[in-house]
Amino acid sequence: MKIHEIKQFDHIVIGSGLAGLTCAYHLAKSGKSVAVFTKREIDECNSRLAQGGVACVVDELDSFDEHVRDTLYAGAGMCDEKAVRAIVEGGPAAINEIIGLGAKFTTRGELGHKDDPASCDLGREGGHQKRRILHAGDITGAELVRVMVETVQKMANVKLFEHHIAIDLVVSRRLGLPGANRCFGAYVLDIKSGEIFTALAASTTMACGGAGKVYLYTSNPDVACGSGVAMAYRAGAKIANMEFIQFHPTILYHPTIRSFLISEALRGEGAVLKCREKRDVEPVEFMQKYHPMQSLAPRDVVARAIDSEMKRTGEECVYLDIRHHSEETLRARFPNIFAKCLEAGINMAKDLIPVVPAAHFVCGGIKTDINGATSIEGLYAVGECACTGLHGANRLASNSLLEAMVVPRNAAADIEANFEKLKDIRPDRHAAMNWTTGNATDSDEQILIAHNWDEIRRFMWDYVGIYRTSKRLERAKNRIKLIRKEIEKYYWDFIVTADLIELRNIATVAELIIDSSLKRKESRGSHYNADYPFLDPDLECVDTIIQRDVRSM
Ligand code: SIN
């Protein structure tokens, strides 16, 4: 057996989105060594694409109670109220901190408002009764990631490993003995050299982001493969509420421009959704049939309404109409979206914007407390891969960047407080498996991986999407069982490549979504099963927990 190299750090963070970098920053402030592993370049992450902004109570006419109320309403009876309150109340300090590090939010003055020009402009999005979204134009995520990348790059004790993908966690199985149920780090593949090594640390924080790539249509970038949830599940951590996949209602519908989000902030500025009843007929509003908040209803309601209108009319998309604003206003408020639409031949001030729903956000994930602590000692999770209880069955818009800024601060404090206990790093196995490594790729491997990848994404879209039935879920379960078997076989037969690791993670997460959906025998928030179309009051706040039995391993 090949003995792989071992690298040791005080702390490991896997993922370099806003949550991961915020966590790395706070961990490193104590002077300890922090390794950040990321699959691509440091700023290649889902947070970077967030357009809308950060929901935070900063206006004196707003209150924590109202933000909590809106979050609980959108979450459809599945939020953990204590976690919601703690995260909402942690917002202002996190915002002040990132402003102190150099983040620039759009001010009212920049948008031509004469009153109170120096304060931050506050946008509105679906489900929010108040304007409370701080934004940097329509590229808020990119601005926040820029600041955190620059910040951690200046810290000598943070080592950034780009093009490094974690394969699995190093966990101790000494059942009943001290150190059981303990995470000591991860096995990592250096994608460029093809070498695998073992990274050991007192704490390991998963900050691997979402899993949009499980679906054929998604707003997420290629890196969003659900790797955090998949690795934590394989390690035996509790995984919660994976049936709650949020579909964003408005992704640009275009033959070549893929996955481009048309921010809900447009609807916050008065854009309305319209649907064409028949070809050559002017599209008309429809959301009044579905919810009193109409186009600004919570996202799950809007996505289902669009799906149902598209099926009813046979149309391939619906439209957003924001033509009541001038070109000048739209260019100032939504510069990035305006430019992208122009590239697609659409002038938002004159034309309707064709949109469709697509997979956007995983509301469930690795079960954690408000400090990001998981059910495995030494293992933390932050950001989209975690399930803190904030989002419930349907995330309130722009609460995710808030969570990505607040929870990592708590996690770093909790890790620091427990460091004396965690620093005893004695795994019972630390050499990486006898994987064949190298970056040569076999063409058979490539074809099989591409085929499986495509098949999973298609049937997840068709059978486990916005509209589910028990029969569709069962069909998906049968398919995924077969594919998972095939993948486990390649895994031991082929060279371990980043593509294969991602495929394995996608398949694990797909199965977790299917199993969780089958378990929830009701419709709630973003989970709709036509065979159980109603909400079951007895299931309110009852998490769907899936945990792998690792006792015999
Ligand atoms: C958007 O800008 O519509 C997305 C914001 C979010 O997902 O919270």
**Ligand 1, CB cutoff 6 Å, lining residues:** 50-52, 261, 263-265, 397-398, 400
* Sign of the dihedral defined by the CA atoms of residues 499, 248, 411, 19, in that order: positive
- C-alpha closest to that of 304 among 462, 76, 528, 534: 528
Q: Which atom of ligand 1 is nearest to the CA of 399?
A: 8
> At 166, which helix (H) or strand (E)?
strand 164-172
Give me the residue label for tokens 């607040």.
Answer: 406
Compute CA distances 351 → 188, 251, 345, whole Å.
48, 16, 9
Atom of ligand 1 nearest to the CA of 360: 7
Q: Cα(51) to centroid of ligand 1, in Å?
A: 6
Q: In what order do the strands lie in the sheet with 158-161?
A: 158-161, 34-37, 11-14, 203-206, 379-381
Q: What is the per-residue pLDDT for 1?
A: 43
Paired strand residues for 123: 133
Q: Calculate ∠ Cα 454-455-461, nearest 5°.
A: 90
Minimum-distance ligand 1 atom for the alpha carbon of 51: 2
Q: Which residue type sits at 145?
A: V
Separation in Å, CA 214 to CA 89, 392, 454: 33, 20, 9
- Tell me, rounded to whole angstroms, the distance of Cα 288 from its chain centroid: 30
The one-digit pLDDT tens for each residue of the chain (553 residues) are 455 789 999 999 999 999 999 999 999 999 999 999 999 998 888 888 888 899 999 999 999 999 999 999 999 999 999 999 999 999 999 999 999 999 999 999 999 999 999 999 999 999 999 999 999 999 999 999 999 999 999 999 999 999 999 999 999 876 666 667 899 999 999 999 999 999 999 999 999 999 999 999 999 999 999 999 999 999 999 999 999 999 999 999 999 998 999 999 999 999 999 999 988 899 999 999 999 999 999 999 999 999 999 999 999 999 999 999 999 999 999 999 999 999 999 999 999 999 999 999 999 999 999 999 999 999 999 999 999 999 999 999 999 999 999 999 999 999 999 999 999 887 776 545 555 555 445 667 778 888 999 999 999 999 999 999 999 999 999 999 999 998 888 777 777 889 999 999 999 999 999 999 999 999 999 999 999 999 999 999 999 999 998 865 5
Q: Which domains does the chain have, with CATH numbers?
A: 6-244+363-432 (3.50.50.60), 245-360 (3.90.700.10)
Q: Which atom of ligand 1 is nearest to the CA of 55?
A: 8
CA of 244 to the centre of ligand 1 (A): 16
DSSP-assigned letters across all residues of 112-153: T--SSTTSBPEE--TT-SS--EE-STT-HHHHHHHHHHHHHH
DSSP letter (8 states) at residue 1: -
Give the pLDDT score at 358. Answer: 97
Residue 401 CA: nearest ligand 1 atom is: 8
* Catalytic status, residue 299: yes
pLDDT of residue 448: 85
197-232 as b/e: b if 16+ CB within 10 A: bbbbbbbbbbbbbbbbbbbbbbbbbebbbbbbbbbb
Burial class (CB in 10 A: 0-12, 13-18, 19+), 78: buried
- The Å distance, Cα 297 to ligand 1 centre, comes to 13
Alpha carbon distance 75, 141 (integer Å): 23
Q: Determine the residue of 247, 248, 401 to mutate for testing ligand 1's pocket, defined as the one with the most ligand atoms within 8 A of the Cβ atom.
A: 248
Q: Which residues pair with 366 in a beta bridge?
A: 239, 386
* Cβ–Cβ under 8 Å, residues 208 and 14: yes
Residue 35 sits at the vertex; the CA angle it makes with 34 and 40, to the nearest 5 degrees, is: 145
112-130 CB burial, b ≥16 within 10 A, e <16? eeeeeeeebbbbbbbbbeb
**CA–CA distance, 10 with 85 (Å, rounded to integer):** 31
pTM: 0.95
Cα(261) to ligand 1 centroid in Å equals 8
Rounded to the nearest angstrom, the distance between the alpha carbon of 162 and the centre of ligand 1 is: 27
Q: Which two tokens stand for residue 58?
A: 């900063």
User: Separation of 455 CA from ligand 1 center, angstroms?
Assistant: 28
Q: Is the dihedral angle over the CA atoms 272, 276, 281, 285 positive or is it negative?
A: negative
Pocket perturbation via mutation, ligand 1, pick of 48, 264, 396, 526 by most ligand atoms within 8 A of CB: 264
The tokens describing 126, both together, are 């679906």
Indicate the DSSP class of residue 269. Answer: T
DSSP state, residue 532: B
Q: Enter the tokens of residue 478.
A: 């049968």
- Please list, in sequence order, all residues whose beta carbon lies within 8 angstroms of the beta carbon of residue 146, skipping any fewer than 6 positions away: 43
Give the C-alpha separation, 388 to 370, whole Å: 6
In a mutational test of the pocket of ligand 1, which residue from 48, 133, 140, 263 has the highest number of ligand atoms less than 8 Å from its CB?
263
What is the C-alpha to C-alpha distance for residues 184 and 464, in angstroms, rounded to an integer? Answer: 35
C-beta atoms surrounding 29 within 10 Å: 13
Rounded distance, CA 207 to CA 486, Å?
28
Separation of first and last alpha carbons in the chain: 20
Check residue 426 and give its pLDDT.
77
54: left (phi over 0), alpha (psi -120 to 50) or beta: beta
pLDDT at position 10 = 98
Give, using CA atoms, the residue closest to atom 1 of ligand 1: 263
Catalytic-labelled residue, pool 299, 333, 395, 409: 299
